[in-house]
Amino acid sequence: MAKMHENQDKESYGQEIIIDLEDVPDEMFNEENVKKFLLALCDEIKMKHDTRGPITWGTHSDENEPGPIKSDGISGVLFIETSSITIHAIDLLNKIFVNCFSCAPFDSFAVITFTRDFWNGKVVNHKYITRI
């Protein structure tokens, strides 16, 4: 059985962990790693994923594009039997943003550790949410 987060209520509908990483090495930013991460995290938390596998979407914009939002990066989603895992990998900023939501319990601390270790980045923020 998955370890419950200290804020998880046994009567809750589900849980979500949101993780922000920075200082991710440049060589990590590619579609293959995004897909590998999604599948490996699914295995790590012992969830069953959709048979179609990860879906990714990537864009590339000019680094000199005006405005604060740069759209370089790869986004991905893996539908799991009990919800989804999403990732936004922004190579211009060397940042990764992950959301893992499930109605079934999972070890949120394992998700944080696995994400940090896979991407070789620094966790700068994480937030646990109980869905009620």
- Predicted confidence pLDDT, tens digits, the chain (132 residues): 455 455 455 677 899 999 999 999 999 999 999 999 999 999 999 999 999 999 998 865 555 555 555 557 899 999 999 999 999 999 889 999 999 999 999 999 999 999 999 999 999 999 999 988
For the chain, the DSSP string reads -PPPPTT--TT-SEEEEEEEEE---GGG-SHHHHHHHHHHHHHHTT-PBPTT--EEEEE---TT-SSS----EEEEEEEETTEEEEEEEETTTTEEEEEEEESS---HHHHHHHHHHHHT-EEEEEEEEEE-
Confirm whether 103 is domain-assigned: yes
Write out the residue range of the structural domain in which residue 107 sits.
14-57+72-131
Confirm whether 5 is domain-assigned: no
Q: How many domains does the chain have?
A: 1
Question: What is the pLDDT at residue 64?
Answer: 56
Cβ–Cβ under 8 Å, residues 110 and 46:
no
Question: What is the pLDDT at residue 129?
Answer: 94
Question: What is the pLDDT at residue 92?
Answer: 87
Confirm whether 82 is domain-assigned: yes
The contacts of residue 1 (CB under 8 Å, 6+ apart) are: 105
Confirm whether 21 is domain-assigned: yes
Question: What is the pLDDT at residue 1?
Answer: 42
